[in-house]
């Protein structure tokens, strides 16, 4: 979700419904079952998504 962030903490909800439901149950995003085309990341979800992005897609600086 880090890659689709816009407007501070909003992410497009173009992910599988099962995935967004699990993230919501874990408190990482707002309720995905609404008419909006995006979800809001919680503080924990925002921190965790940034950590995972950096861990998985960047190289450590020497």
| Residue pLDDT, tens place only, 3-43 | 888 888 898 888 888 999 999 999 999 999 888 888 999 99
- Tell whether the torsion through CA atoms of 22, 16, 10 and 56 is positive or negative: positive
Residue 53 · residue 2 · CB < 8 Å: yes
pLDDT reported for residue 34: 84
Query: What does pTM read for this prediction?
Result: 0.76
* Closest alpha carbon to 32 in 58, 56, 24: 24
Residue 9 · residue 48 · CB < 8 Å: no
Beta-carbon contacts of 19 under 8 Å, excluding residues fewer than 6 positions away, are: none
Beta bridge partner(s), residue 28 = none
Q: Averaged over 48-61, what is the pLDDT?
A: 90
């Amino acid at each position: 979700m880090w890659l689709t962030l816009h407007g501070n903490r909003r992410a497009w909800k173009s992910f599988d419904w099962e995935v967004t439901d699990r993230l919501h149950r874990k408190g990482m995003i707002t309720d995905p079952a609404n008419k909006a085309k995006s979800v809001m990341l919680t503080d924990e979800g925002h921190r965790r998504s940034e950590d995972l992005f950096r861990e998985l897609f960047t190289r450590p600086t020497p």
